[in-house]
Amino acid sequence: MSNNILLESFSCALTPLETFDFTQNINLKGISIFSNNISSLDLSQNVLLEFINIQDNQISTIDISQNTELTFISCALNNITSLDLSQHPNLTYIDLVVNNLTYLNIQNGNNTAITNFSVFENPELNCIQVDDVEYANNANWEKDETTVYNLECILGLEDKTNIGFTLYPNPAQNTLFIEAQSQIETVNIYNLQGKLIVEDSKSNVDISVFSPGLYFVQVFVNGRSETKKFLKK
């Protein structure tokens, strides 16, 4: 495989293999290596790739910035945390189900060409960057309920410091309650654009005038902060 520069398609499944070397296969157009045990994959030399199926592996990061001819990508059942598909205008099929995504950008200028889009069971994915929010909301795409589409997604807002607080109810309609193990110092609420819309110190916040959608609540306790998301009904 590694010495065959004329190879255009490769398929391998249900093996204990942990590595594949495609760096010499510069004419590859299709790769299907699902249900193996690989944790990394170098596709930087495979600029002609149109089809990638790497579902059910152990991959946490993948660089496909050189694979701009892609029409099909399936990375379901992996550990991928971030994926930028904005340079892939030919995509019609995207399957990223069951990963650890916190960032996804599909703002490629041609979202209307996407016929299959599945990204559910990515509980930490708050926002997906798209071409047109109204179109995305009305397309037959699959995502988690707490994930929203936006023209710009804010990165790095969600602080993982554990200070021990809970939000309820979630989703909420009129009042959001906050319970912490220690005295709350400050409560900040941000919208998806990262704009601060509430700054308070109360353990209950009136959200009745908020527009429906996803928001971030940042709570400060003893000089430390933690950020969680809630959905306004």
pLDDT of residue 124: 85
Strand partners, 53: 32, 74
For the chain, the domains span: 165-232
Lowest mean pLDDT among 7-21, 138-152, 158-172, 205-219: 158-172
Cα dihedral 210, 122, 120, 157, rounded to 10, equals: 30
Task: Kindly tell me if the per-residue pLDDT of 193 is higher than 80.
Answer: no
User: Where does the pLDDT of residue 160 fall: very low under 50, low under 70, confident under 90, or very high at 90 and above?
Assistant: low
Structure-token pair, residue 194: 């990262």
User: Where does the pLDDT of residue 31 fall: very low under 50, low under 70, confident under 90, or very high at 90 and above?
Assistant: very high
Q: Tell me which residue of 60, 16, 67 sits closest to 45, measured CA to CA.
A: 67
The string of DSSP codes covering 20-36 is: ---TT-TT--EEE--SS
pLDDT of residue 22: 93
Integer angstrom CA distances of residue 132 from 110, 137, 205: 10, 9, 31
Domain covering 165-232 in this structure, CATH number? 2.60.40.3080
Q: Average pLDDT of 181-188?
A: 90
pLDDT of residue 112: 97
DSSP E strands: which ranges in 12-102?
A: 30-32, 51-53, 72-74, 82-84, 93-95
* Rounded-to-integer distance, Cα 105 and Cα 82, Å: 9
pTM, 2 dp: 0.72
How much is the mean pLDDT over the chain? 90
User: Where does the pLDDT of residue 154 fall: very low under 50, low under 70, confident under 90, or very high at 90 and above?
Assistant: low
pLDDT of residue 163: 80
* Rounded-to-integer distance, Cα 196 and Cα 181, Å: 24
Contact between residue 30 and residue 51 where contact means Cβ atoms under 8 Å apart: yes
Q: Between the ranges 78-92, 161-175, 185-199, where is the mean pLDDT highest?
A: 78-92
